[in-house]
């Protein structure tokens, strides 16, 4: 059975249902919609096909989302085929349904999706007549065979403890996995490695001076950082060697502390010049040249060498036997 719906009738039906926008500046309706049922008479519960042929603009695309509850019918599957012509396109849907109520029925309205350059809108296509007949022989009532007739699937509640058992098993598995993870991630007692003896102050000072020389900060335009690092190395060495907090001392406090101590070999006059120059570089933004930076670094080596040579091994921070 073939059913033709003209574009004007379909447009007004869609507008009446509030499912399509008005055509002015909106989505164009299809050019033609045809639908038929194959076969026109289907047995109860047996599949039949609703064929819907939509002729539309080439720029449009039609899709059929899987429908939900269809009352007396059950959705089974669908097939979609599109053929493009020179002026229009034809999209054919073959929707397989099952009927579960006897007699002449109208298939449910199917909600298509129309994708158009102007937007995407739903487009309903009305149902088609089909006759659902019994699948039993004529004498079924006499023989009692009607009790075994095909019916629409129904939910049948059955009391079962399977879900409870499954939840208990999942809980036990989770607890076991948690216990295993706790065991594997437990803190491990590791015997502390013996601490390496601290190297003498003069060795650590030379290593720091070597590292500073290797960086060659003045050549990279970082003179201020060069003097900061060099001042910290010399102050840290002298503070450890003569047992006072040289790093936290101001320049006058540093020089006063050194004058009150026995500092054999220490080139005091050169150290005073360096301390004053370092303050000018760090705080007065003075920019010494490469030769001055090199001379300041060499002074650091000279201070370490002179104090190591003159300081007895028993003095704090003095040279070790090595």
Of 135, 150, 181, the residue at which a domain comes to its end is: 135
Each residue's pLDDT tens digit, 183-223:
888 777 666 666 778 889 889 989 998 998 999 888 888 88
CB distance 193 to 211 below 8 Å: no
Element (H, E) at 98: strand 89-99
Q: With 0.85 as the threshold, say if the pTM is over it.
A: no
Beta strand pairing call for 89-99 and 103-106: unpaired
Taking the C-alpha atoms of residue 42 and residue 84, their distance in angstroms, rounded to an integer, is: 33
pLDDT of residue 107: 93
Task: Report residues of the chain scoring pLDDT below 50.
Answer: 1-25, 313-317, 319-322
Query: Is residue 146 in some structural domain?
Result: no
Are 124 and 111 spatial neighbours (Cβ–Cβ below 8 Å)?
Answer: yes
**Domain count within the chain:** 2
CB 118 within 8 A of CB 67: no
Structural domain boundaries, residue 33: 3-135
Q: 175 in a domain, yes or no?
A: no
pLDDT at position 93 is 96
Query: Which 3 state secondary structure label does DSSP give 101?
Result: coil
Tokens (6 digits) for 316: 């704090």
Q: Which two tokens stand for residue 153?
A: 């699937």
Specify the CATH number for the domain of residue 13: 2.60.40
Whether 239 is covered by a domain: the verdict is yes
């Amino acid at each position: 059975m073939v059913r033709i719906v003209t574009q004007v009738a379909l447009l007004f039906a869609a507008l009446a249902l509030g499912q399509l926008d008005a055509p002015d500046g909106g989505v164009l309706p299809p050019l033609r919609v045809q639908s038929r049922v194959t076969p026109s008479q289907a047995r109860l519960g047996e599949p039949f096909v609703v064929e819907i042929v939509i002729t539309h603009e080439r720029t449009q695309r039609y899709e059929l989302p899987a429908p939900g509850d269809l009352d007396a019918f059950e959705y089974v599957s669908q097939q979609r085929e599109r053929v493009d012509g020179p002026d229009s396109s034809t999209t054919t849907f073959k929707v397989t349904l099952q009927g579960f109520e006897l007699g002449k029925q109208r298939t449910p309205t199917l909600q298509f999706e129309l994708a158009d350059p102007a937007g995407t809108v739903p487009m309903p296509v009305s149902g088609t007549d089909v006759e659902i007949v019994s699948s039993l022989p004529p004498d079924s009532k006499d023989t009692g065979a009607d009790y075994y007739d095909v019916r629409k699937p129904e939910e049948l509640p059955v009391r079962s403890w399977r879900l409870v058992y499954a939840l208990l098993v999942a809980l036990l598995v989770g607890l076991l996995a948690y216990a295993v993870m706790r065991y594997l991630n437990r803190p491990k007692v590791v015997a502390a490695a013996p601490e390496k003896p601290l190297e003498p102050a003069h060795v650590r000072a030379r290593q720091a001076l070597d590292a500073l020389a290797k960086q060659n900060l003045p050549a990279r335009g970082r003179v201020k950082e060069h003097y900061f690092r060099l001042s910290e190395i010399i102050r840290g060495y002298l503070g450890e060697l003569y047992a006072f907090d040289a790093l936290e001392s101001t320049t006058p406090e540093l020089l006063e502390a050194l004058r009150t101590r026995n500092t054999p070999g220490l080139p005091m006059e050169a150290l005073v010049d360096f301390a004053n120059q370092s303050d000018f570089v760090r705080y007065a933004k003075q920019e010494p040249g490469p030769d001055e930076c090199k001379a300041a670094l060499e002074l650091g080596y000279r201070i370490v060498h002179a104090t190591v040579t003159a300081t007895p091994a028993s003095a704090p921070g003095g040279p070790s036997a090595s």
